[in-house]
Structure 1
Amino acid sequence: MAGLGVWQRLGKWRRLLPAVLLVAALVIDFFTPATVSAAALYAAAILTAAPLLSLRGTVITGITAFVLDLAMFAYFGYHGTAPEISELAMVATVAVIAVLLNRLLYHLQGRLRSARDIAAAVQQAVLPDPPKASGPLRFAARYEAAQTDAQIGGDLYAVVDTPFGVRCVIGDVRGKGMEAVRSVAASIGTFHEAALHEPSLTGLVERLERAVTLEVRKTGDVIALEGFITGVVAEFPPHGDEVRLVNRGHPAPLLLLADTVRYVEPGQPGLPLGMTDLATGPEHIDRVTFPEGATLLLYTDGLTEARDRKGAFYDPVDRLTGSRHPGPDALLDALLADVHRHTGGRRNDDMALLAVTHAPENT
């Protein structure tokens, strides 16, 4: 993994590798006895050109390697000998193979780009960017999938401006792969529709509960207790300085105010969505004061379970205490940069972040 990181940091300089190998082969051939051959380096230069250079660059590298090898044989006085013919045939064969590999990689990369474009479109459809503002509230969201090339995974978030106030949700679907993505799509769709029509926060959560339970039963390949979503639903009423929270087995949100950061623990523990059969009482709503200048940070456990090389978990309270940011976008950018420093760039789980700031009236 360390070697891969060095290779990625080389960037465009990687394209010089075929030329470096050709120069090394020429130097070895020129300054060593005639019995020493640099054929392996000529072949390596040609083969490395296939994934790094264009078709034209690959062809030029192959021709250059062949000509240089031929020139070295002429320099040492070999003319039509068996070793000369054998080595030149090998170099020519490798050049042909490199051209074929270059074309194959070109088409595979085209398919990969297409798949990434589709994944980005799916992410935008399923997890659209939240509105920048609604009244005094300012919003920002970030999403990082555990897989480097993935666009979407099993975490979700949404922000909806409704007649009952701004409603937000963040959640973490149990499981990975397409099943998790389907659950994300179903949950987000239900939330967007129900948030606009359910007058009570408890009614909204009940709609989500029914949607998750139905999705679990539709899959038919996991038992009910294994199909669930942990989540927090937040409601910011049109008037007043408070936020109402329903926490269903999810990591507690963070409340940032001035230089202080604290967890907003639920007053009563709740089971994840999809485990309604085990519920024992009515939905519990926590009411939290949310004055001007405050920020509510909703996140999935990819944040708090991020580890450094020694296995130490990331502590957002400790890392954010004493820091101030001009808005939710700046907060999330700084937070992600700090997490990346903590983990060394490694990602073991999806991570979704949603920040809501109560901005002063004059901003």
Structure 2
Amino acid sequence: MGRPEVALVKLPYLAPPLLLLVGAAVDVFAPRPHYGLPLLACTPLVAGTVYSFRASALFALLACGVAGAVAQYAGREKSAQATDVLVVLVIGLVGLWIKWFADRQRRDLALALTVAEAAQRAVLPAPPPAVGAIAVADRYVAAQVGAAIGGDLYALQETPFGIRALIGDVRGKGLRAVSAVSVAVGAFREAAEHAPSLHGLADRLDRALDREGARRQATLDDIEGFVTALLVQIPPSGETVTVLNRGHPPPYLVSEGKVSCLEPANPELPLSTGLGPAHGAPVEETFAFAEHDSLVLVTDGVTEARNERGVFFDVVGALSELGRRKPDELADGVVQAVTRWTGGQRQDDMAVLVLTRTPGQPEA
């Protein structure tokens, strides 16, 4: 037996020919003439919603032909036959014009969305699937429908100090935050190659964001206020991972099926607050990173996602259910779990970055 959802999808495509047949039958067998004419006139309008322009034009011609044939079969006067055909023709032409206009608007919209997505992705390019012996997966779901990115950001690159990664969140969401995202990502790309420590890298990001705010002569609210950031460094040996947290949700370490939330020992303020670190020099924390271990970086679109009862999403529980997986599977699993938890509601921008140490990592 066929699947019922497939039949429902095909049903609209059957509507135009059914309208032709039913309209002709009603016009022939109805006690008074012209009862089926509205159905015939609707045929090209309905065809325009499901078929191509050429197919819609064909149905318009068929409707005119059927209207004329039925009127002639019923023995109506020539003037009545011409009127029936003219009515169907005029409505058919109107339907074809609507179809042409809608198709042009759809093409223009598709082109605009393609250009916009390309521009946004130029600001936040996707990381490579692997850097050295670190497999990488990323997922991004913007809160604003139609946008490719919003206020969340991430970047990853290989440097003389090892692999460095950034994940962050500009206060606010949507396209207003994209300019701050571009500043943070651009500053990371340049500074990651030269800053000898994650502390120095965070300082450079802080100064870059402050300079941008001063250049625009804007208030904190105008530049979205601040940026939470999590900086990660994996040395060439790959045996450890060092984390510096500036007010961002902590990362999660998946090791041998166990999930650990790497909460910072000394929570620090976000970047671009104008106050600097809360406790002087931020503390860089180092953790063991064995083969097959995965570090999962997320934004608050994941950690603060709520269900209909207002309960927060359990990241540790979701990752524990997923267990040891490939990076793509972990990233997809987190996004799917959040989507199920929120009932499909886009409550905030959501970014996930997964770094997995693959076998064969060279020793130091």
| TM-score, length-scaled by structure 1 | 0.85
Alpha-carbon deviations, 1:121-171, whole Å to 9, x = none? 224422222233334322111122234432222221110100011110111
How big is the shift at 1:269?
Answer: 1.8
Instruction: Judge conservation of contact 2:253–2:296 (CA < 8 Å) in 1.
Output: yes
Q: Of 90, 94, 99, which residue of structure 2 is paired with 1:97?
A: 94
Q: How many residues align?
A: 357
1:281 counterpart letter in structure 2: H
- What is the CA–CA distance in structure 2 between the aligned matches of 1:356 and 1:208, rounded to whole Å? 22
Say if 1:302 and 1:14 are closer, same or farther in 2 by CA, change over 3 A.
farther
Query: Which residue number in structure 2 is paired with residue 117 of structure 1?
Result: 114
Instruction: Judge conservation of contact 1:260–1:322 (CA < 8 Å) in 2.
Output: no
Q: Of 38, 55, 60, which residue of structure 1 is paired with 2:53?
A: 55
- What is the CA–CA distance in structure 2 between the aligned matches of 1:219 and 1:271, rounded to whole Å? 23
Query: Which residue number in structure 1 is paired with residue 129 of structure 2?
Result: 132
1:1-363 alignment, distance < 5 Å = 14-30=12-28, 32-34=30-32, 37-80=35-78, 88-220=85-217, 222-223=219-220, 226-239=224-237, 241-277=239-275, 279-282=277-280, 283-308=282-307, 312-361=311-360
Instruction: Judge conservation of contact 2:289–2:357 (CA < 8 Å) in 1.
Output: yes
Alpha-carbon deviations, 1:264-305, whole Å to 9, x = none? 111122222211336443223222222222211111222234
How big is the shift at 1:332?
Answer: 1.5
Instruction: Judge conservation of contact 1:232–1:247 (CA < 8 Å) in 2.
Output: yes
- What is the CA–CA distance in structure 2 between the aligned matches of 1:147 and 1:349, rounded to whole Å? 8
- What is the CA–CA distance in structure 2 between the aligned matches of 1:298 and 1:9, rounded to whole Å? 43
Instruction: Judge conservation of contact 1:34–1:76 (CA < 8 Å) in 2.
Output: no
How big is the shift at 1:227?
Answer: 2.0
- What is the CA–CA distance in structure 2 between the aligned matches of 1:156 and 1:342, rounded to whole Å? 23
Percentage identity across paired residues of the two chains: 38
Q: RMSD over aligned Cα, in angstroms?
A: 3.2
In structure 2, the residue corresponding to 1:117 is in which secondary structure? helix
How big is the shift at 1:10?
Answer: 6.2
1:58 counterpart letter in structure 2: S
In structure 1, the residue corresponding to 2:196 is in which secondary structure? coil
1:186 counterpart letter in structure 2: V
How big is the shift at 1:196?
Answer: 0.6
2:243 counterpart letter in structure 1: L
Can you give the 5+ residue segments of structure 1 that lack an aligned partner in the other structure?
1-5
How big is the shift at 1:355?
Answer: 0.2
Instruction: Judge conservation of contact 1:255–1:297 (CA < 8 Å) in 2.
Output: yes
| TM-score, length-scaled by structure 2 | 0.85
Say if 1:23 and 1:277 are closer, same or farther in 2 by CA, change over 3 A.
farther
Instruction: Judge conservation of contact 2:149–2:175 (CA < 8 Å) in 1.
Output: no
In structure 1, the residue corresponding to 2:146 is in which secondary structure? coil
